[in-house]
Structures are given as structure tokens and as C-alpha cells.
Amino acid sequence: MAVYTDITENDLRNFLSEYDVGELTSYKGIAEGVENSNFLLHTTKDPLILTLYEKRVDAGDLPFFLGLMQHLAQKGLNCPLPLPRHDGKICGELSGRPAALISFLEGMWLRKPEAQHCHAVGVALAQMHLAARDFSITRRNALSVNGWQELWAKAAPRADEVLPGLQQEIGAELDYLVSHWPQDLPQGVIHADLFQDNVFFLSDRLSGLIDFYFACNDLLAYDVSICLNAWCFQPDGAYNFAKGSALLAGYQSVRPLNADEIAALPVLCRGSALRFFLTRLYDWLTTPEGALVVKKDPIEYLRKSRFHRAIEAASEYGLEPAA
Amino acid sequence: MAVYTDITENDLRNFLSEYDVGELTSYKGIAEGVENSNFLLHTTKDPLILTLYEKRVDAGDLPFFLGLMQHLAQKGLNCPLPLPRHDGKICGELSGRPAALISFLEGMWLRKPEAQHCHAVGVALAQMHLAARDFSITRRNALSVNGWQELWAKAAPRADEVLPGLQQEIGAELDYLVSHWPQDLPQGVIHADLFQDNVFFLSDRLSGLIDFYFACNDLLAYDVSICLNAWCFQPDGAYNFAKGSALLAGYQSVRPLNADEIAALPVLCRGSALRFFLTRLYDWLTTPEGALVVKKDPIEYLRKSRFHRAIEAASEYGLEPAA
């Protein structure tokens, strides 16, 4: 949950005077997003989201993030739209932080998604990949192989505190990924964090994608592998073949994976499982006890990493042969 | 900030099926209230607040709290109205907790209130006292003199960890209050926690009172003293005479204080300063480091307690002689 910065009514009124929005009638800090402070605003017109970018977000990346949301919304994708100020900018400042006013997307994220929802996620992910093809700004993925190595260098010496043997196991897995990471797959803008809380539904219909603050340029099929990890495992850790199959079929109904992407899917899944394992491990080891953040258990992603190491072909994830 | 319990879409849908509300379009955990989990719901009709009562609230008190809100709203006071279910009850169960659906009150709490707002708070507090006169349920104030003694018995041995000399100073203050606490002042239902975040304004007009979860039966003028402590001190700790004068004048414009209440005001202020000092001190000493709660500094209320000990007459708070 995230409200790191409170705002006073006067500062907010000044900030809103730069926009063409209705009269403010309420603002509440909401428990969404872990990197930024988010407020839900009611006005005499539409509800809005106000985001204050805290220091974990590099202000230099905001033109990419906000521009991407604007680009995708203009292409017809359902995602939050940053509102322009009177001076045309889509980012201002509030309480000493960069701040943006963003359209409110109705919908709810699913705590218990089913296969049909996974299909819709695959469709939306592929639509996003296509819609972003002509987006002009680029952003390197700081959390790809090099980033994993940097994180691991910091976490490795204490890894066995979490689970004995972890230092050796993860070291070997990282070595494997460094030497087998695919280079020549189709690239583009990926969401890179399309977890359940970032996809909204209205009575079983996908109503939008949110939280583009990890978006970057990388392998498109890597984004698919992130979704397989995020959406297609049961709470008990077992892979759900029906969900995986639905997610992949949904994706391929919009953007078919090519043969190289299909062949690379197991190693991509190993990579994304390791990526979330490493950030969670790092946070687990470094987040001070008093912090206002719920630490996520890294072991969930260790289990997923081990699962993917035993996979030999994409068909084991439920990928149907192309029609 | 408070979302202690998450809820799944299916549980929420089942819960809402007991009510006559529109179709749910979103629900977000909000960072308000420290005792309960609160969600802001959007529906195809009106926005709503969903409150899940966590274990710090005694379920046996809910008929008092929710009944009071219903009573006050029916008397025309602007406060959240618990919605009735189809079976007529105003409390159900969700995620294993008692849960109520409550009307959403537009408005914003003021981070920087001015004297005019304090006047409005005084008016609203007196209106609440009058509106609650014929409310039939009663609830003992667990945080009056006896409660302070219980808290102090637990905190005293470690009080000097917070500030050397505290054990002696607070012990003496508590002894004074036990022997000087007024007995024969007008009683009724008090809010008992009317801090800034529990009073909403819409463009300088008070739009409502919220959070009745400390309400109880006690001395009405004690509620006034809580507001003087909560609203009429500057961030630097100085008492603001103009705000105090405005708050008292606002209160008296609706319900004039009698001579005994006026004479007792300094000791009541000492009592309410000590009450908030003691709960903060206790939380300070006992809240585990990893808790998702921001600890409030008890020293702020130690300073207020010391200020009130030097007060000899209510006129020093800005109380004007009755017209």
C-alpha cells in the first residue's frame, strides 16, 4: 500500500488550477502501487487518479511512461490517460515531487482469475505490443540479464540466510541464463509487470491495463513469459495448464509467436521467474523492519524458477500449434 | 493508513447482493482510519465506503456505532449513513469480519485549518451533542480516568525510556486528575475523536463528520476539550488563541456551556491531553517495528498537557463571556 507523501488542500488546489477539471470534492490516498503515492480524486466531473512519483522512479523516465500511456490510449487501448495541463505538459509538481493527473479507469483486479481471464490478458498484452510499435521514445530494461547480475552480486553473500544452498543454486541458474539468453527475438515496448493487480475487469470483460512504470524496450515474448509466471500458477505453486494455454492462445490470436520465440519460451520463463525472485530477495534482505511495505516472499519465485528448469518445450505450457 | 484485510471479487459480490446498490465498477483500499480496513467503492449509482471491522473494534459495540450514525443522519447531521441490507440489518460479514456499507461523504479534511474552520467544528460538535440526546443505546468511555490508570500501569515502568523524568511527571498529573475530575457536568454521547481527519469541508463549508468509532457517553464539555487539543495548537506547539476562541464561540452558538462546564474546562483539557498522550505512549512502546502503522509522537501531547497545567481560567482559551 502506498501513500508516502501527504498533500495539503492548498497545494492541491494550486496544482489542479493548471488543469481543466471540475471542482474537487474529495481526495483519498489509495493502497495501490508500491513505488508511488496515489490518490483517488472525486470532482464535479469525472473521478481522477493523482500520482506523486517518489524517489524510486527516475524523473527522467516520466516522459517515456506518461507518453506511452498517452500513445496507447490514443491507439484505442484501455489504459489511464495522463491529462494535459493548460501549458500542454502532462507532468507537474506537487509537494516537491513530480506529479501527474490521470484518468480513472473503472474496473477491478481479480484476486482469483480463471482461464477465461487469462485469455483476455493474453489478448490485451498482444494488443499493447502492437499499439506500441510506433511509440518513438525508448527505455532500456534495467531489470534484464545485466540488472540481475548486479542484484545478485549484492544479494548472493546473504542468500543462504533465506534458504541454505540458495547461493549455489541461483548462481548456477544465472550462469545458465547469461550464456543462453536469446538475442534475436522480436523486440518492442513491453509492460514488464502485468501482474493481476495491473489488469482491471468489469464483469468478466477486461476493462484496462494500468501501471506502466516498469515498461521498457525488450523481447516481446519475455513479456509473455512474465504473464505466464504472474497469472498461470495456483496458490499452492502448481502450474495451471488450462490458464497457460488460454493466455498463450489469447496472445497468439492477436500476435502469433514465431518459431524462435516459441523455442525460447522455457528460457524466457526461467529468466522472468529469476527476475522477480531476485528483486524480492533483494527487498527481503534490505527492507528495514519498520517500512510501510509488505515484503513479498521470494520463495514463490524460486519454486517457479525450478518448475521452468524442468520444461523442455513450449507445448508443456499449453501452447497450441499454430493453426 | 489502513487496509488490513483484502477481499476477493466473489466475496464482495456476494456481500453486495444483500444490498440495494448499483452495479459495482471499482473498489480501492483507502488510507483512512487506523482501526479498520476501508474501501472506496464506485457503483453505477453512488460511491460507497465499505468498512471491515478489525479486531481492535469490539463487535458488540457495532450496534452503538452504526446505530448512532443512522440516528444522527436521520436527525439531519451530515455523517455517513450505514445502508440497510434486504433483511433490515446494517451490518454483515465479509472476509470473516463484521462489515458495513456506508454512504460516501464528499469533502476533504483540512491539513491546515484556520479559525473559521474551528468555528464550524465547534458548531458541528454542539449540533452532534444535541442530535444524539435521544439516542437510546449507551456505551461507556473505556478511555476515561479508569482507562488512563490502566494504560499508565502498563506504560509507566518504561516511560523514562521515552523521556527521563516522565514516570514521575505523568504519575503526579494522573493523581491530580483522579482527585479533581468533575462528576456533575452535563453528559451525553460524545464523538471523542474529532480530529482534523474526521471533519470534511467543501470549499470552506463543513460538509460532514466521520469516524464515530470512539464515540461513547461522557461529559459533553470533555468533547470540547478534545477539539481544543486537536484543532487549536500550531505545528510548533503554541496554542492559537484565535482558533480556540472561534471553536468555543461556534460551540456556544448552538449549545452554551454552563458555569460548571466553563470552570472545569482547564481540567478537562488536561484530561484529554493526557488521554491522547497515554494511548500514543502505549502504542509507541508496544507497536512492533514491522507494523504497517505510523507511530504518532506522544511528546506532542505531553507539551499540550504541560500547557494546560498553567491555565487558570477558560478565558485563557479564548472563551468569551456569555452574551
Nearest-CB residue to A26 (from B6, B23, B108): B108
pLDDT in tens, B136-174: 999 999 999 999 999 999 999 999 998 999 999 999 999
Do B9-103 and B115-317 agree at the fold level?
no
Query: In A, which residues are within 8 Å of B111 by CB distance?
Result: 6-9
Q: What is the mean pLDDT of residues A134-158?
A: 96
In the predicted structure, residue A60 carries a pLDDT above the cut 60: yes
Q: Is A292 on the interface with B (CB under 8 A)?
A: yes
Interface test with A, best of B1, B44, B197 (most A CBs within 10 A): B1
In the predicted structure, residue A312 carries a pLDDT above the cut 80: yes
Query: In B, which residues are within 8 Å of A111 by CB distance?
Result: 6-9
Nearest-CB residue to B26 (from A8, A9, A106): A106
Q: Which residues is A190 bridged to in the sheet?
A: A216
Interface test with A, best of B4, B9, B15 (most A CBs within 10 A): B9
pLDDT at A286: 85
Give ipTM to 2 decimals.
0.85
- Name which of A11-20, A24-33, B139-148, B291-300 the model is least confident about: B291-300
Which residues lie below 8 Å from residue B235, measured CB to CB, with a gap of 6+? none
In the predicted structure, residue A291 carries a pLDDT above the cut 80: no
Q: What share of chain B is helix, strand, coil (3-state, %, to 5)?
A: 45, 15, 40
Q: What is the mean pLDDT of residues B294-302?
A: 85
Interface of B with A in 55-74 (CB under 8 A): none
H or E stretch including B92? strand B92-94
Q: Which residues is B140 bridged to in the sheet?
A: B217
pLDDT at B294: 62
Calpha distance A152→A159 (Å, rounded)? 9
pLDDT in tens, B115-132: 999 999 999 999 999 999
CA nearest neighbour of B241 among B322, B316, B311: B316
Would you state the CATH architecture of domain B115-317? Answer: Alpha-Beta Complex (3.90)
Interface test with B, best of A292, A293, A295 (most B CBs within 10 A): A292
Nearest-CB residue to A28 (from B10, B26, B40): B40
* Domain segments of chain A as ranges: 9-103, 115-317
Q: Is A26 on the interface with B (CB under 8 A)?
A: yes
Looking at every residue in chain A, the average pLDDT score rounds to 93
In the predicted structure, residue A176 carries a pLDDT above the cut 90: yes
Q: Is B44 on the interface with A (CB under 8 A)?
A: no
pLDDT at A321: 74
pLDDT at B2: 53
CATH of B9-103, one of 3.40.50.1820, 3.40.50.10800, 3.30.200.20, 3.90.1150.10: 3.30.200.20
Interface test with B, best of A5, A25, A110, A295 (most B CBs within 10 A): A25
Query: In B, which residues are within 8 Å of A42 by CB distance?
Result: 47, 106
Handedness of CA A241, A244, A250, A253 (dihedral sign): negative
B10 contacts A30? CB cut-off 8 A: no
In the predicted structure, residue B1 carries a pLDDT above the cut 50: no
* Number of cross-chain residue pairs from A and B with Cβ atoms under 8 Å apart: 87
Does residue A233 sit in helix, strand or coil? strand
B95: DSSP letter: T
Q: How sure is the predictor about B293, in pLDDT bands with cuts at 50, 70 and 90?
A: low
* Residue A265 backbone dihedrals phi, psi, to 5 degrees: -55, -45
Q: Is A10 on the interface with B (CB under 8 A)?
A: yes
B42 contacts A106? CB cut-off 8 A: yes
Which residues lie below 8 Å from residue B311, measured CB to CB, with a gap of 6+? B266, B269, B317
In the predicted structure, residue A198 carries a pLDDT above the cut 60: yes
Calpha distance A47→B279 (Å, rounded)? 37
Handedness of CA A156, A157, A162, A166 (dihedral sign): positive
pLDDT at A296: 79
In the predicted structure, residue B101 carries a pLDDT above the cut 70: yes
Q: Which residue of B has its CA nearest to A110?
A: B9
Interface of A with B in 105-124 (CB under 8 A): 105-108, 110-112
Q: How many CB atoms lie within 10 A of CB B132?
A: 21
The alpha carbon of residue A263 is apart from the nearest alpha carbon of chain B, in Å, by 36
Calculate the alpha carbon distances from B139 to B61, B70, B129, B212 in Å: 8, 16, 15, 12
Q: Is B42 on the interface with A (CB under 8 A)?
A: yes
B31 contacts A31? CB cut-off 8 A: yes
Calpha distance A123→A146 (Å, rounded)? 30
Query: In A, which residues are within 8 Å of B42 by CB distance?
Result: 47, 106
- Name which of A229-233, B59-63, B294-298 the model is least confident about: B294-298
pLDDT in tens, A255-264: 999 999 999 9
- Name which of A23-32, A274-283, B99-108 the model is least confident about: A23-32
pLDDT at A1: 40
Q: Quote the percentage of chain B above a pLDDT of 70.
A: 95
In the predicted structure, residue A102 carries a pLDDT above the cut 80: yes
Q: Is A1 on the interface with B (CB under 8 A)?
A: yes
A289 contacts B290? CB cut-off 8 A: yes
Q: Is A136 on the interface with B (CB under 8 A)?
A: no
pLDDT at B60: 93
Nearest-CB residue to B31 (from A9, A23, A29): A29
pLDDT at A34: 67
More confident residue, A59 or A265: A265
In the predicted structure, residue A290 carries a pLDDT above the cut 60: no
Q: Which residue of A has its CA nearest to B49?
A: A28
